[in-house]
Amino acid sequence: MSEKAKPSVQSLKSMPADYRFLGSSPLEDSSSASAVSVTIQRNDHLKNGVNGAVGGVDSGNEDSPYSLQSISNGDESSLVDEDPIVPLPESNDRRWSDASVYARKKALQFWVQLPNGNWELGKVLSTSGEESVIELPEGNVLKVISESLVPANPDILDGVDDLMQLSYLNEPSVLYNLEYRYNQDMIYTKAGPVLVAVNPFKEVPLYGDRNIEAYRKRKNQSPHVYAIADTAIREMIRDEVNQSIIISGESGAGKTETAKIAMQYLASLGGGSGIEYEILKTNPILEAFGNAKTLRNDNSSRFGKLIEIHFSETIKISGAKIQTFLLEKSRVVQCAEGERSYHIFYQLCAGASPALREKLNLTSAKEYNYLSQSNCYSIKGVDDAERFQAVQEALDIVHVSKEDQESVFAMLAAVLWLGNISFSVIDNENHAEPEPDESLSTVARLIGCNIDDLKLALSKRNIKIRNETFVQKLTLSQAIVARDALAKSIYACLFDWLVEQINKSLAVGKRRTGRSISILDIYGFESFNKNSFEQFCINYANERLQQHFNRHLFKLEQEEYIKDGIDWTRVDFEDNQNCLRLFEKKPLGLLSLLDEESTFPNGTDVTLANKLKEHLSDNSCFRGGDRGKTFTVSHYAGEVTYETTGFLEKNRDLLHSDSIKLLSSCSRHLPQAFASSMLVHSEKPVVGPLHKAGGADSQRLSVATKFKGQLFELMQRLGKTTPHFIRCIKPNSVQSPGLYEQELVLQQLRCCGVLEVVRISRSGFPTRMSHQKFALRYGFLLLESIAAKDPLSVSVAILHQFNILPEMYQVGYTKLFFRTGQIGVLEDTRNRTLHGILRLQSCFRGHQARSRQREYKRGITFLQSFVRGEKVRKEYTELLRKHRACSAIQSHVKRRIAKRQYKAKVDASVVIQSVIRGELVRRCGGDIKYGGTKRNESGEILVQASVLSELQRRVLRAEAALREKEEENDILKQRLQQYDNRWSEYETKMKSMEDIWQKQMRSLQSSLSIAKRSLDDVEGSPRYSDASVNAGSYASDLYGSGDFRTPGSGDFRTPGRGSVGLSVISRLAEEFGQRAQVFGDDTKFLMEVKSGKVEANLSPERELRRLKQMFETWKKDYGGRLRETKTILSRLGSEETGGRSPSMERVKSKWWGKLRSNRF
């Protein structure tokens, strides 16, 4: 395609429907109802900032943003020639054209298709009849049929980011717009609700944290995967509906990278819990085990996956779940020339550590038959060893233990060594047995089985017919098939086990809320020179996804318009329901017939092809092939011819029961888990006749049936979500940056149905909302009260209040339908209003919070004063207690120090005394005469031996006695210490007893004094002194009738009863004083004896106990006499009741009451 001149305005972000450019003068001939073509000419004199003027355009053309207006400047020349209008027929492909007839006033620009299929932009020089002369940019002139010309858009629309903004929507315009943006590294373009992503095959500066932040804050509105993910998460929050992002495209279009980019954005927005890092780290694992190099793509996903990311109530990622579909197991054992098997095999061979390599007996990738058959071992720019380290790190992050990792690598090595097992023919019937070489022993060691059991599983088969079991030897080809089937099953089970471990890691402990965003990355439509069973299943899946796409964007869209009574012009689109019926019809559909033929023991690839031709020839989407093993299916993206070679074998996916038993007998846990999984799946019966060959083969679900079930489950799950579509485009087949192949891109656009989507979206109402929800969401914006109005009236009132043009919306029976961008005005107003309300609420709440804060501050200050006072008082009490304790400790320490010093002085004195006494003895020794001694001539004293031995014995006894005395001294010291401790306790007790006695004495003394004064006041008689009362005559005065003599008279007379009472009380008081003096003196004496001040031959403790006992006895006796005295005085008082005044009774009762209260 030729390069157009770059316009000054490259992109228009939005273009309202009522937007108008300044155009030329009206057409002189405006009677024609047909639309006319336009061209943009350079005009730097226009003041509206748009570099161009538009020729006459029919004002009735709603698809075009241009209208018929006159030039504002009077000196502008008309852009319209006086030539008559010559209408041009529409393009051959009517579904890609926006205009039916075009007129040429001057040299207009059109797209013309060259013989090689490419489109070129040319100018119409002249038109005669049905032919036009076109000048190409290179200067070449061509004569073409006018019907083949396709109108071109004005230069101002070059590179728009949304195909809906194109004035003329046709194939060459879309191709050119995508190429224009692709050359400027703008790889994302909107096509209505669909995002078109062109693979750049290089790094582009469109990603990273800065771009994520820009899209999160809505600062960047250009098309991007980030924008799709942001829309999904916002709609999930707003509508409380699960979302899905469906990524499709052919192999090499960049689906896997697009899915990773979407996951990166969701992880960035919903991060914080740590689980998002685990989700991102699943990509290296799944790519290593599920991706491979093909002729079309260096990192082709050979399986489909659905990643369901769950969010918590705070819109944080809380968990995830991964579901996989149709792993291409045949790639494990067979690769085409120039392709590779799964990445993990090459990464293991290149990046394993020496210890792991020795443990697994690994060699280079070239030494394994499964890897060497394609003669491709590396990918340009990819370091397999480095990728292996990344896989190990990712396995650690998703909590796969080191032991399980070693088991996984052992299974991979076992698969590689299985491919190296060779067979030898042992008889004339071509029966084969494995060679007992290194490969066989290594496989047996790696999977943990007996080598003889492995040989039997690969060379023989047990067939059970009724109750009998037969052993059948396998031929060479059958043995190779059994070996490859075992290798494929081990790898497929290993892949499923890894996905299960990843799901456990992403789901354990994660609380889900039901809100989720699913990302579907599934294989795109495939059509090769030779298409087999894998392409058959892949294209069937794409037919299902295309129907989901059609139903969401075409069928359901238009059906909803019609159901709600919307004024709508129906848009035709290609429906693939007939093709799906071809696949799924029962019992005569492709899948049913394939399963039926797979159950027949004698079924072959040729019989399958013949059966399909026989039963499906009447379907318009099916055509039998000329060759015996081929058939053709008309898919939505084009016709694909399939070869039935290997269809039945791959659909059966046979693994005999002997191989399952072999895995179950292994000592390693992974083969045992694989066998258990196979047995679980084998218990599900196949619909239709059963294979009678025996074993577990006939009971397993066919691959096609299982895949169909997974696909239906996937469609049901996607049907419950709001889908967001991303269509990935592969710009060239050589994976080179900057190269744009029109034919390849156009084929993919046709497969995706992009232009139909744009047409429906541009002419339709993509935004809709029920009356109730609309009124509930925007009703508070109305200026008048809406309490009594129904939702429909409220909705209409809102639309009128905001002056939304009638052509921008339609009111249905149950919903309101809006054109693109109209709901944004209401959302902006709603957000501003809510923001103002929140600001007002925040101010009021701030005022309330500050008021409460001041109250709390006053209360806290008040409480703090009490708390601090209490704290200071406690600290003072504690300090006082410590001071007293310190004083006590100091007294004890000083006492000990003084005692120690005294003892040292005593010891020193004793030593000095011993020395002095010894010296004195020695001086006086000459005067002592020893009976058993004599002197020699020199005057020396001679001692006899017997005397000397006796002295030695005495010395020994003295030493022994000294030791005993020292031991007794130690014991006495210990006892003295105990006595000191006891004395401290006794001293404390004595002080407390002395205090108690003193209190009791004072109480009794005060009671007696009060009694005496009371009686003196009552009787008015002279008061006798305490000394005049004879304590010895107490009993006679109390009970006898003898005479008493007054102190002033010389004779005896009988005193009055009042004087008798006074005498008794005086005696009691005198006795109390004497006893108090005695007890006090005794206690003081015993305290002095105990302290050592007075020496006495008695035990202070025993005497104190005896003294206490005497005091208790006297106290009891004294209390009894007091009670008797009270009784006698009461009896005497009752006899003299008539002559006694009430005041005396009150005094008496008062005195006895006090006496009773002071009793002890």
> Mind telling me the catalytic residues?
251-252, 256, 297, 300-301, 524, 526
CA 977, 978, 981, 986 dihedral sign is: negative
Helix (H) / strand (E) containing 811 = strand 809-811
Sequential DSSP letters for 189-208: EEETTEEEEE--SS--S--S
Burial code (b: 16+ CB inside 10 Å, e: under 16) for 655-680 equals bbbbbbbbbbbbebebbbbbbebbbe
Q: Which residues contact 15 (CB under 8 A, 6 or more apart)?
A: 65, 165
Tokens 């290594």 belong to: 442
Residue 743: CB atoms within 10 A of its CB come to 11
Collapsed DSSP state (helix, strand, coil) of residue 629:
coil
For residue 113 the two structure tokens come to 């298709």
Helices 225-239 and 209-216 cross at an angle (nearest 10°) of 40
Judge contact between 1115 and 1160, C-beta under 8 A: yes
Distance in angstroms (rounded) separating the CA atoms of residues 474 and 468: 19
Please say whether the beta carbons of 176 and 4 come within 8 A.
Answer: yes
CA distances from residue 229 to 250, 260, 807 in whole angstroms, order as listed: 21, 11, 31
Residue 890, φ and ψ in degrees, nearest 5? -60, -40
- What tokens does 927 get? 């005067």
Cis peptide before 723 (omega within 30 of 0): no
Contact present, 532 and 645 (Cβ < 8 Å):
yes
Q: How far does the chain reach from its first CA to its final CA, in angstroms?
A: 127
Rounded-to-integer distance, Cα 121 and Cα 306, Å: 43
Residue among 462, 460, 456 at smallest CA distance from 475? 460
- For residue 458, the one-letter residue type is L
Task: Point out which residues pair with 54 in neighbouring strands.
Answer: 23, 40
Q: Distance of CA 1104 to CAs 593, 881, 1087, 1096, Å?
A: 120, 31, 9, 14
Letter string b/e over residues 169-198, b meaning 16 or more CB atoms within 10 A of that residue's CB: bbbbbbbbbbbbbbeeebbbbbbbbbbbbb
The residues near 297 (Cβ < 8 Å, ≥ 6 apart) are 251, 252, 735
Dmax over CA atoms of the chain, in Å, equals: 185
